[in-house]
Structure 1
Amino acid sequence: MIHPYVTGYAEKLALKAGETQRFMISAEGVTAVDVQIVRLIHGDENPAGPGFIEHEVDASCNAPVSVVHQFTQAGSYAEVPDPALKIRLEHGFTVYAFIWPTTPDKGPQGVITQCSSAEMRGFGLAISSRGRLALWLGDGANYAEIEADKPLVAKLWYFVAASFDPLSGTVSLYQAPVINAYNSLLSPIVPLDHPTYVTTRITTRPAALQRPLLFAGFHDRGTHGDCVGGLYNGKIDRAGLQARALTRTELDALRGGSEPPPDGRLARWDTAAGYTDTGIGDRIIDTGPHGLHGRGINRPVRAMTGYNWRGRNDCFRLNSAEYGGIYFNDDAIIDCSWQPSVEWQIPIDLKSGVYAARLRGSDVEDYLTFFVRPAQPTAKVAMLMPTASYLAYANERFVLDAPGVQVLTGHPLVLHDQDYLLHAHPEWGRSSYDHHSDGAGVCYSSYRRPIMGLRPKARMASTGVPWQFAADMSIVYWLEQTGIAYDVITDEDLHYGGLAAIKPYQVVLNGTHSEYYSEKMLDATETYLAEGGRVMYLGANGYYWVVAFRDEEPWCMEIRKLDSGSRAWQAAPGEYYMATTGEKGGIWRNRGRPPQKLMGVGFTSEGMDESMPYRKLPDATNPTVAWVFEGVTNEVFGDTGLGLNGAAGIELDRYDLGWGTPPNTWLLATSEGHSDHYPHVGEEVMFNYPGLGGTQDFQIRADLTLFGTTNGGAVFATGSISWGQALPINADIARITANVLQRFLDETPI
């Protein structure tokens, strides 16, 4: 039984008034929905707050729309077009590759194929349903599978090949390990019986298939039509295709790293070719005579170690020849590639803000969120929506796939419809906090897919409160209540626009959890502050992880989690540098840019059982900064909020001169009373010992700080994620924030 739903995504997450937006919609159990553009004001439906608030917008696209189910091709693979039909196999062939399979036992998987299971044509170097190297041959009526006699072992490097001689009908399968002390899960000392060379004779002759050759899958057909099936998990390194059957001696030479024989060479894909100092793209270069170059689909992961990695170099920039590994995953998704259902020409005079296409049908509803900046800046204040962090958490699957999450948060799970829907649709992808089906960390995230957390009413099941986007809507609501004019901009605008994106504004407010930052974003923010700009950092655990974007693909972000920081996975040795830009991943403090240097505070703890209040410190009464607390008489404040019942909680930042907090920083207030569900962050724990929780460690706190920068700039930081969610209902928190905003709008130096 199909549970009816409608969902979709906006083609662009961030755009300018006057541009065109398109919405990709898919549904099951319904055939039509009403589309209504709305401006979003507040999302949290908690009855203690203002509730859900939207304003309908008169838009040309508001209308009933027919909807259908749209298929998503999940899984990363590569296509090699052959329009000139250079791949001719009538005189025999050999197909070979270096492989590092991660799930050889999961079922049939294509390695290097040009075959169709539906048409029963072509050939394929593959892994069989029994986890063995196989050759597939189809003549259009029959399909033959020839297996090796020994299984493949996960996470070991092999050289594999299959040959076919049509004159004799002889098939040969060659499998040999290429394990060294560094490149595989197991050491060469383990007595596994790897090598095999199998020959047999068959009567099947492969019929040509005029479709692209594939890496990591094979052509298939389902109820939705043609697709790629048999998706492979693991790495593929250098591969090739010869137009004759190579001898065992010739295969031994290829295994040793020799070039393939020149006679009959059809293709030789050098997966280590194409690197530059700034990374590598999706193109797989063929150094053979026909230039049969491949193109990765759904972003196969590059900058990965290959079969010949020796452990000395940890970056492709040092020795790219050791980085031929391309990692494929059967559940990767970058672009659902759905057809547009609705198009809207955004009016040039549309008010900047947070918008959505609201979809409603019979018992179904969804919101496709996007952000509109003005055609020209119109206000002195900008609300910077941390869309890079939205991407990092996009479609997090903590609910059912992270068994330790309840221990981490101190809450039982509270499931919502969005959690069930996401679980039913693995093809919509995972977040950077999740793992692929083979256990590899997810290092790419994209907004060209439905993202459950980008819905205004979304709540994180593991904490029971809004998270990221929905939490940031409490700041938007508060801004609306102040009556102060503001524009909405995004991380995407900041990354691609640089300083120009924020320079027109006197004050920039950041969100509750601006955790993920590119170097361009950091550089622009630092220059903005140095030139007199003012930032209100209304969150915590911000400016933390390094991320990267391609110049031409803003919808996809790369992340590499390294051996420091609070992380759900860790990149493998030698794979710490991002394919997108060539930069080292990890946390910014390990590249010399801890958040304290820029914002005055930096990550110290995360908890999520309960939020706590702040207590004023002596600096709060200094006449120079006493204006911050004008109208706030309580020594202890912030004991209510929509984010776990207080203003200081969920994740916390602290003042620390040792990590670069400017020495002219005013330490205005600090939180107190945190439980042992708030442990000290791992990057600061050199040795584990008792006493690192909130009841004993003085560093487990949220610090409220203020400092001035050169040329009259300033930074106000709250040190707490839940501060923003306290704004709608806590008068003291709202008053302090308003005091700071009003003062920051006064051009007098702080």
Structure 2
Amino acid sequence: METSTRREFLQQTGVGLAVATLGGSWEGTQAATDAVGGLPPHRPLEVPGVHAYPAEHSLHAGETLQLHVSASVPYDLAICRLGPRFDDPAGEEVLAEFLAQSPAPHPIHPGSYIYVHKSLSEAVHSLSVELWIRPWYISGTQAILSQYNHPDQCSLALMVNAKGQIVFYLGDGGKYHADGEHISPAKSLHVPQPKGPLNIRWQHLVAVWDGQVKRIYVDGRKVAEWRWEGKVNWSAVPLRWGAAGEAGKASHFLDADLAMPTIYSRSLTEEEIRQRFADKGLTVPKDASLLGCWPLQEEKGEHVADISAHQRHGRIINQGTWMIGGPSFDANVPRFGDYDPAKDTKRGHGLRLASDDLYDCRWPVRHTWKIPEDAKPGLYVARFRFEYGKTERYQYVTFIVKRSKNRPPAPLLVLAATNTWRAYSSTPFAIPPAPRKQVWGTGGITNGPTNPPAFSFYRAHAAGQGTLQLGLRMPWPVASPYVLYGGPTEYSHLARAERPLHVWLEQNGYPYDIISDYDLHKQPDLLRSYRAVIIVGHNEYWSIPMYEGLRQYLQGGGQVINLSG
């Protein structure tokens, strides 16, 4: 991916301020992945190499580090405190070793969708599916709605492909039958093309079956119809918005925004469809034939309520993205004005889905290490050494050790800019290059061989969606103490940029404590225990509690040394 400046990226994406593996086997982990981490069965994706993340990114001395690891190759692991000299791997203080570790690969499960456990079961002789959809770049054929597990349990599927064709399948709940599938003409639905501009827009989509004829309507206009007098029986599989089943696992994930998805047990008339199109998704339908309607009014969390009498409530898998507004929302509001979304009667509600959404790898803990009670505060790493592609490589997993809860505070507190490290963490599943010093730009480096999720606040999702959130239980190799941002100048702006301060303080005999941004977010008043707070590196991502904690600390007579830029 080409890198871009921060300003260019924000302008392009709308981000707000703010395979073959070498060694190891994936076969033994397959059964465990079918419902891993509480997920319903979900298509797995292998991530070759060695990847890891800590359960907590900062811990007190005396607490236990837990490392979640996926490794397709053998490795040696050393737990180290970074040494008293800058850029000196030989000076890393080894505190524990786990040598000759065998491969233990674990897949990831990207892709967001709405899972509805209480699937359709009522006898139907006609049917309508209505929703608003705003597609991003579509690859292959992606599911909009399904009660469908190909090839053996196929009842209903509504899909879209890269050509803008709508696929409408109805069946008897048994094996897939080609005569139950009909495909509309190309460009029935506007779908951005990868080589063209990302011109997304909301469209009203209705699929109708009256018992004899199937019809597709887009923005109130009929775009396709076919005669089909088959029988619809419901297979005992989940109802899914944004995914369909393939061999028992959720797959065919959708890259699109959804609003007001609704299912009726009757065929809507053309006049009703035109009225619903004109309504722009603002009015919840009041109809006795509702089989399910999800207004998406929650705007947070994983629960999605069905307002029909059937209570087919949904659960969002892999989060999705809330607070994007609906089809009637006018985004042209002053950037720093007094706009209040709660008072905007035409904002509407939408949910953004992405085929690469992933915020928690859900890997098991493989290694634990009890941090000594007398461990010095500072930056520590889990250093993995392994061979991939016949080349020795290192993977650094950075974490923070805070002072023991049983020790008094030091005079100085250093704030590590961990929010920023996470913000720039593009290509978290990349295979690290052989040199320890590596340039990791805003777009990351070459992605992993299976093309896993690579998004960050400076790299969009694979289908073009701007990144508005990031997960903590993910690898962050960009936080390595040897990662560069500029090549010839050896300039850094993440963890490595903060190391010179730590080295200088230690060399000059200044005791200090250190915390992460998240520690300050959770406990804003902890600053009161220190005579001075040092902000260093590229600390640009602050929550309101962090800001308020620092403001109150200053108002109370605290001192801040701001070395951040």
* 1:168-179 map, 5 Å: 168=211, 170-176=213-219
* Post-superposition CA distance 1:620-662 (Å, at most 9, x none): xxxxxxxxxxxxxxxxxxxxxxxxxxxxxxxxxxxxxxxxxxx
- Distance in 2 separating the partners of 1:15 and 1:131: 50
> Partner residue of 2:434?
none
- Offset of 1:12 from its aligned partner? 1.5
Which residue of structure 1 lines up, in the alignment, with residue 469 of structure 2? 444
* 1:324-363 superposed Cα distances (whole Å, 9 cap, x missing partner): 1222222232122222222344454443322222223443
Show the counterpart of 2:400. Answer: 371
CA contact (8 A) 2:427 2:453 kept: no
Question: Following TM superposition, by how much is the alpha carbon of 1:480 offset from its aligned partner in structure 2, in angstroms?
Answer: 2.2
- Residues 41, 476 of structure 1: 8 Å contact kept: no
1:304 aligned onto 2:324:
yes
Q: Is the 8 A contact 1:422 1:452 kept in 2?
A: no
CA contact (8 A) 1:283 1:295 kept: yes
Partner of 2:181: 145
* Contact 2:61–2:372 (CA under 8 A) maintained in structure 1: yes
Aligned to 1:37: 79
Q: Is the 8 A contact 1:509 1:535 kept in 2?
A: yes
Unpaired segments ≥5 residues, structure 1: 178-193, 400-412, 541-750
Q: How far apart, CA to CA, are the structure 2 residues paired with 1:281 and 1:94?
A: 28
Q: Distance in 2 between matches of 1:199 and 1:37?
A: 64
Q: Deviations over 1:460-486 (max 9, x none)?
A: 366643331122122222222123222
Find 1:388's aligned residue among 415, 419, 422: 419
Match status 1:229 vs 2:251: yes
State whether residues 137 and 162 of structure 2, in contact with CA within 8 Å, keep that contact through their aligned partners in structure 1.
Answer: no
1:435 aligns with 2:455: no
> Which residue type is aligned with residue 314 of structure 2?
G
Matched residues in 2 for 1:256 and 1:43: separation?
Answer: 67
Report if aligned partners of 1:235, 1:328 keep a CA contact under 8 Å in 2. Answer: yes
Contact persistence 2:79–2:383 (CA under 8 A): yes
- Measured against aligned partners, the alpha-carbon deviations of 1:659-712 in whole angstroms (never above 9, x if no partner) come to xxxxxxxxxxxxxxxxxxxxxxxxxxxxxxxxxxxxxxxxxxxxxxxxxxxxxx
Q: Which moved more, 1:135-144 or 1:366-375?
A: 135-144
* Change over 3 Å in CA distance of 1:90–1:69 after alignment to 2: farther
1:112 Cα deviation after fit? 2.0
Q: Distance in 2 between matches of 1:465 and 1:487?
A: 26
Alignment of 1:204-243 (within 5 A): 205-211=232-238, 213-221=239-247, 227-243=249-265
Q: TM-score, normalised by structure 2?
A: 0.77
TM-score, L = length of structure 1:
0.59
Deviation at residue 40 of structure 1 after TM alignment:
2.1
Aligned to 2:66: 22
Indicate the SS of the match to 1:520: helix
CA 1:520 to 1:266, structure 2 compared with 1: closer, same or farther past 3 Å?
same
- When residues 421 and 156 of structure 1 are mapped into structure 2, their CA distance, relative to the original with a 3 A threshold, is closer
Aligned partners of 2:393, 2:121: CA distance in 1, in Å?
A: 50
**1:242: how far off?**
2.1
Contact 2:205–2:218 under 8 Å retained in 1:
yes
Q: 1:251 to 1:208 in 2, by over 3 A?
A: farther
Match of 1:487 in 2: 513
| Alpha-carbon distance between aligned partners in 2 of 1:43 and 1:423, rounded to the nearest angstrom | 32
Indicate the residue corresponding to 2:208 in structure 1. Answer: 163
1:536 Cα offset (Å): 1.8
Displacement of 1:268: 0.7
Give the whole-Å Cα distance in 1 for the aligned partners of 2:249 and 2:91.
42
Residues 371/320 of structure 1: CA separation in 2 closer, same or farther (3 Å cut)? farther
CA distance in 1, matches of 2:59, 2:449: 31
2:163 to 124, 130, 145: 130
For residue 103 of structure 1, what is the aligned residue in structure 2? 137
Give the letter aligned to residue 21 of structure 1.
Answer: L
Q: What displacement does 1:490 show?
A: 1.0
Q: 1:461 to 1:132 in 2, by over 3 A?
A: farther
2:117 maps to amino acid: P
Query: Is residue 411–residue 511 contact of structure 2 (8 Å, CA) maintained in 1?
Result: yes
In structure 1, distance between residues paired with 2:154 and 2:67: 38
Q: CA RMSD in A?
A: 3.1
Q: Which residue is 2:556 aligned to?
A: 531
Aligned to 1:57: 95
Select the structure with the greater relative contact order (CA < 8 A; seq sep ≥ 6).
Answer: 2
Distance in 1 separating the partners of 2:418 and 2:140? 37
1: CA distance between counterparts of 2:51 and 2:446?
10
- 1:708-719 residue pairs with structure 2 within 5 A? none
Aligned to 1:358: 383
Q: Does structure 1 retain, via aligned residues, the 8 Å contact 2:426–2:458?
A: no
Q: CA deviation at 1:99?
A: 0.9
CA deviation digits over 1:222-271, x for unaligned, max 9? xxxx6532222221100112234444444344334464353332211012
Q: Distance in 2 between matches of 1:261 and 1:427?
A: 42
Contact 2:396–2:477 (Cα < 8 Å) also in 1: no
Residue of structure 2 in register with 1:340 after alignment: 365
**Residue aligned with 1:390, SS:** helix
Q: Return the offset for 1:366.
A: 1.7
In 2 relative to 1, CA 287–481 (structure 1 residues): closer, same or farther, beyond 3 Å?
same
1:108 Cα offset (Å)? 0.7
Secondary structure of the 1:270 match is coil
CA contact (8 A) 1:395 1:452 kept: no
CA distance in 1, matches of 2:295, 2:374: 51
Cα distance between partner residues in 2 of 1:529 and 1:123: 61
Q: CA deviation at 1:517?
A: 1.2
Aligned position for 2:50: 6
Give the aligned length: 485
> 3-state SS of the aligned residue for 2:452?
helix
1:158 partner letter: Q
Alignment of 1:384-423 (within 5 A): 384-395=415-426, 422=447
Q: Deviations along 1:264-305, whole A, 9 cap, x unmatched?
A: 32211012x235xxxx33332221113222233333222112
C-alpha distance 261-485 of structure 1, shift in aligned 2 (>3 A)? closer
Question: Counterpart in 2 of 1:274?
Answer: 298
Q: In structure 2, what is the equivalent of residue 114 of structure 1?
A: 147
Q: Do the aligned partners of 2:128 and 2:268 also contact (CA within 8 Å) in 1?
A: yes
The one-letter amino acid of 1:123's match is L
In the TM superposition, what is the alpha-carbon distance from 1:26 to its structure 2 partner? 1.5
For 2:402 and 2:445, the matched residues in 1 are separated by: 33
Q: Distance in 2 between matches of 1:538 and 1:309?
A: 41
**Cα deviation code 1:693-736 (max 9, x no counterpart):** xxxxxxxxxxxxxxxxxxxxxxxxxxxxxxxxxxxxxxxxxxxx
Once residues 311 and 121 of structure 1 are traced to their aligned partners in structure 2, the CA distance between those partners, rounded to angstroms, is 40
Match of 2:309 among 277, 289, 300: 289
CA contact (8 A) 2:427 2:448 kept: no
1:445 is paired with a residue whose SS is: coil
Amino acid at match of 1:114: Q
SS of residue matched to 1:317: helix
Q: Does the Cα contact within 8 Å between 2:205 and 2:219 map onto a contact in 1?
A: yes
Secondary structure of 2:114 counterpart? strand
Alpha-carbon distance in 2 for matches of 1:355, 1:246:
62
Counterpart in the other structure of 1:505: 530
Amino acid at match of 1:236: L
**1:518: Cα distance to partner?**
1.4
Gaps spanning 5+ residues in structure 2: where?
1-19, 23-47, 192-199, 334-338, 431-437
Inter-CA distance 310–522: structure 2 relative to 1 (3 Å threshold): closer
- Matched-pair contact (CA < 8 Å) for 2:82–2:91: yes
